[in-house]
Amino acid sequence: MYEILGGKPVHATLATHWARLIEALYAAERMVELLEDPEITSDHIRNVPTETPEEGVGIVEAPRGTLIHHYQTDEKGILTGVSLIVATNHNAAPIAMSVEKAAKGLIKGGEVSDALLNMVEMAFRAYDPCHACATHAIGETPLMLEIRSSTGEVLRRIARD
C-alpha cells in the first residue's frame, strides 16, 4: 500500500478500504495464533461470576470504527441503562467534509446525474460501508442532495428514492 500510494501516510478517502483489508487479514492471522494457544483454549479459561455487576464498559474496534458500550444494571442484573456510541458518531464530521468535497468537485453547472450521485455516495461509504445499507429500504438508497449558492441559498433539491 505504501509503495503504490507514495511511501508515506495516505489521506485518500477510498484508501480506507485497503486499510480495512489489511486489518481483516491481520485479524484472521491473529485468530489462528490464538486458536492454537493452549493457554487460552484449555478447559480452565472461564471464571464463573460470583457477584452481579453494577456497571460494565466495552470498547470494540470494528471495520466501521470504534464501538463503545456502557451498561448499568440493578441488583438482579436487569439492565437499567445502556449507552452506545457507534462508529457513525465518530465518523460524522469527516463524512460530512468528504461528501461536501466530493459534491463540490463533481457538480458543475448544477447538472447532477445518477452516476454523479453514486460518486458522491462513495464518499460516505468509504468511512462507513454499513451506513448506506442500514438507512434504506430493501433495494433502494434514498439520497437527498441540495445544491446551494455561495451564500447558502438552496438553488436545487434532488431526491433519489
Q: In total, how many domains does the chain have?
A: 3
* Same domain? 93 vs 156: yes
Decide which of 35, 66, 85 is a domain's last residue: 85
Confidence category of residue 117, pLDDT binned at 50, 70, 90: confident
Average pLDDT value for residue range 122-141: 65
Return the number of other C-beta atoms located less than 10 Å from residue 67's C-beta: 17
Per-residue pLDDT for 88 more than 80? no
**Distance separating alpha carbons of residues 154 and 132, to the nearest angstrom:** 24
**Distance separating alpha carbons of residues 155 and 68, to the nearest angstrom:** 40
**Distance separating alpha carbons of residues 136 and 86, to the nearest angstrom:** 18
* Same domain? 42 vs 53: no
Task: Output the CA angle 23-100-3, nearest 5 degrees.
Answer: 35
Closest CA to 85 of 63, 115, 60, 107: 60
Sorted by sequence, the CB contacts under 8 Å of residue 91 that are 6+ apart come out as 64, 65, 127, 128
* Same domain? 140 vs 114: yes
| Domain of residue 39, residue span | 1-46
* Same domain? 95 vs 124: yes
* Same domain? 92 vs 140: yes
| DSSP H stretches of helix in 36-159 | 38-41, 87-106, 114-125, 129-134
* Same domain? 94 vs 134: yes
pLDDT tens figures, 30-71: 999 999 998 888 887 777 778 888 999 999 877 777 889 999
* Same domain? 36 vs 99: no
Decide which of 85, 106, 141 is a domain's last residue: 85
Task: Lowest mean pLDDT of 44-58, 59-73, 94-108, 128-142, name the range.
Answer: 128-142
